[in-house]
Amino acid sequence: MLEDTDLDAAVAEGIVSPAQGVALRELAARRTRERAISQGHEERFRFMRGFNDIFFAVGVALFVAGFAFLAGGYPGGLALTAAVVWALSELLVARLRLVLPGILLAILFVGLVFIALPVERLLGIDVGQAQSARSPTGLIDAMRSAPGVWLVVALRGLVAALAAGIFYFRFKLPFTLLPLAASLVAVVLAVASKLVPAAQISDPLVLLGCGLAVFTAAMAFDASDRERSTRRADCAFWLHLLAAPLIVHSLIWLVSPAPTAPSVAVRGGPWQAMTPELAAVIVFIFSVLALIAIAIDRRALLVAGLTYLGAAIGYAIGGGRAGPSVAFAVSMTLALLGALVLVLGVGWTALRRLLIAHMSASLVNRLPPVPVRS
């Protein structure tokens, strides 16, 4: 396969003229876009190039774990371990272009920076002081349980986001945007615990806002690469992977009759906390998210909602009762969910074509193109 350097060499040696070289580049770019459009429904992303990535990832995990133990869990030792992780990234990511080890190194680097910062000692904050006697109702409420916790989390999150940003701009690894966005979500939650009045719906509302913000950023990357032929498509994929659970879980949390519980699943079976009204709302939310997922050609929203849809289906099959029919209800739920996923997977392109046909041209021009044939 010819690359740009090959064409430059061919022009330099007089094999093709400069005009022919430009024409060949344009032809290659056009054919790359056509191939991307024809395979757009596959939602490709770069995760590894072969078993060599797994081999190096195992080596990274073993080496960093051993080095971290020898360096110690103090801020200095953690900082030294983070520096070693950066040096490994220079070799494995910058030079060898290994994706899976790069993902592992990005997680390790951002995580080490997050916990290495001695915020409590610098600010004189004791996070274990004055713990609340009652159980917290959510993440935001938990940060209110001790004075200064919100500031510790906010500062750590900001430094971790900065570390992730530096890692991304140095190594151009799309996955790094996920820990960057997750760190910023932690900052928002920390600040919200200080500014947002105490309420049962504080967590889902703040998390929903964060999810929508991450989703908007992901869509911006998608809109800049409609054919998904560049690194920007990978950036969007990882952001969608974070945005989907934030949006889905917060929406279900908001409509749940017990908004203090982060899940509709309770002891005794996933449909025990269900009501007919909640099941109907979950099916409606899943249907809307499915339409959005098909339109934007991203499956993360669907995957994030399968658990809750399964809870609604299980409730309908089991009649809301736990008993001898639980095993049958679970089996039927899994079968129906599997059938739904398979049907959506097989008919994905046809469904996109049908849906986009009823959308405005201005909106369609911002979405990934639909292949002419499945």
**91-112, pLDDT tens digit by residue?**
999 999 899 999 999 999 999 9
- The per-residue b/e assignment along 201-237, b for 16 or more CB within 10 angstroms, e otherwise, is ebbbbbbbbbbebbbebbbebbeebbbbbeebbbbbb
Of 291, 336, 342, the closest CA to residue 312 belongs to 336
Task: Kindly state the DSSP code that residue 92 receives in the 8-state scheme.
Answer: I
> How do residues 18-36 score in pLDDT, each as one tens digit?
777 677 777 666 666 555 5
C-beta of residue 203 within 8 angstroms of C-beta of residue 253:
yes
| Position with higher pLDDT, 189 vs 330 | 189
- Worst-scoring range by mean pLDDT, 21-30, 212-221, 237-246, 352-361? 21-30
Would the pLDDT of 359 be above 70? yes
Residue 230 lies in a domain: no
Total domains in the fold of the chain: 2
- Worst-scoring range by mean pLDDT, 179-193, 259-273, 335-349? 259-273
Question: Cα separation of 116 and 160, whole Å?
Answer: 10
Residue 134 lies in a domain: no
pLDDT band at 166 (very low <50, low <70, confident <90, very high): very high
Q: Give the type of residue at 100.
A: L
Which helix or strand (DSSP H or E) is residue 361 part of?
helix 361-364
Question: Cα separation of 119 and 110, whole Å?
Answer: 16
pLDDT band at 126 (very low <50, low <70, confident <90, very high): low
Q: What is the reported pLDDT for 118?
A: 81
Give the list of residues 6+ apart from residue 237 with CB closer than 8 angstroms, or none: 43, 45, 174, 218, 298, 300
Q: What is the reported pLDDT for 333?
A: 87
How far CA 115 is from CA of 62, 79, 150, 346, in Å, comes to 20, 9, 15, 45
pLDDT band at 268 (very low <50, low <70, confident <90, very high): very low
Domain range spanning residue 11? 1-38
C-beta of residue 252 within 8 angstroms of C-beta of residue 310:
no
Average pLDDT over the chain reads: 82
Residue 370 lies in a domain: yes
Residue 183 lies in a domain: no
Residue 352 lies in a domain: yes
